[in-house]
Structure 1
């Protein structure tokens, strides 16, 4: 045997895509698992030519599912972000776009039985501890991928998948504001460091001399901005108690600007070495929470709604995304209770993916 076959589903989840696999079909040891995932995606080449990655961070993501050990959840979702070129695997963050496909994938894998009409799937995001309630369309007891829901960054329409994110505050750092401050100044740039669904460092675009409306390509090509942004991100990581984050995809970085296309606020999200072509589901929750928090860097950039739950519409590089945030704003300050979004997913392929047996023989 020269190669090991591993069963997989290949799915688009939200505005990302990648293999969805049963955790039981993969190595237990994380070092071996990382090598297997590098081989699956083809990390180490800008085109991922020797794997099924797509040459971009949104297409080198992996979802690993198992029956949940959490009493509340149906399925455990373990996420891995594989780098495109650097042969690095980060198991610390989660991904909300890939999570969009977890409900359908769990049903397809037989981990969750389908109901007639709609099937609720309670998901435990293992990496951060978040709980997410998903509603999957299953007329006749089978996953339906066709429908009229449209999300910016994906062509056409598909069946809606409703997601409700709970217990997302402090999932990585243990605190809503990991530095203890609403604002910090790092290298002369005022930032808000926040951990809601995803730890982030958030700044105003004009602090860098940017409009905040630049395309993802324009921001990626701005070497001076990227050098300064990364230095601030790395220093912020230390202040957030995350240690040396120079080789980690977290914390992510976000830019804010006044809305110009009818949304609540304009945003750009970094993954963190490239600008996201659309918006991360987890990052959207953190950015929406920043907008709603008095005293953050978002002050004065958007009209804060008075109602709860509140719909925050984030303008991003490819359109918009709505986040419905249920929150409290009392004497103890701003507190997120849950956040809801609608995403879509589609099964693209199914079968076996192969890795060299010299890496792992499947035993």
Structure 2
């Protein structure tokens, strides 16, 4: 079977690797405050979280870490406002505008409408949108010239983890569930399922993916991004179907999955998303096979340092395997549980995706 690679929607805009982002971003002024003894930089970077909060051990936390690193590099103080619910988004943004913020970072797909309204009303301010292109009219372009999207084709990394999971599974069933059926969540689930399908095609196996239907583009969802009893019940429903690998997608809902795994008393491996959850939440480290990574912190840091130096660039950044904007975390405690030939195969598949020999379908791979 021949596979072809679909280029990311923004093509050449996704050319800066996550590592290169840090090395290649503009240097802070020599007299920028901090310890330099020079004049303090007159710049206020700000951030609004989504309802998951900055302690979600996931994408909100990564965004905040990137903002804080950029503020330290520039020698300025940053402001962060945490949303408790979707109804807080507009008022939180207005609060930051009123406090004189120069650049406002919005974390998450769900903030896009409020971000667009604020950016349109304040054309002299700069906005950075994590996880959404802010294309509300669906014409393929960001709807305001003062918004920079930072988005990630996580389907590519999830494909590799799906292949890995199919190769490690002993029950022949793996599961996934999400917070809401929105593109930035389902992109993980769909890429994961594609990786399992590819493993089955190559190896003549029939590993099943529960919790996501590629044809229907629908599956198991908790209705939000809270670690609550609903999320636990959804996880338990998959565990009851004999899965032995579980991929929760949606901030802290993985904590409910981890609790359900522990209650089951079974050998079920957990997969993290966004951050290397083994590092951000050691309490579940013994369950984690790996994590599907987004370079959110690096993307935010680069955007804010550039903006603070008067070089704000609204061009979208699209994270891919090629530019290291997405990736797969180490296996940590499960290093010995992954056969060497399977680990080598993942390296081979990664290069095939980068070279264009495998298509990983997603809404960003047009």
Q: TM-score range by the shorter chain?
A: under 0.3
Greater relative contact order structure (CA < 8 Å, 6+ sep)? 2
Query: Per residue, is there more helix in 1 or in 2?
Result: 2
Query: Per residue, is there more strand in 1 or in 2?
Result: 1
TM-score of the two chains, using structure 2 as the length reference: 0.26
TM-score of the two chains, using structure 1 as the length reference: 0.27
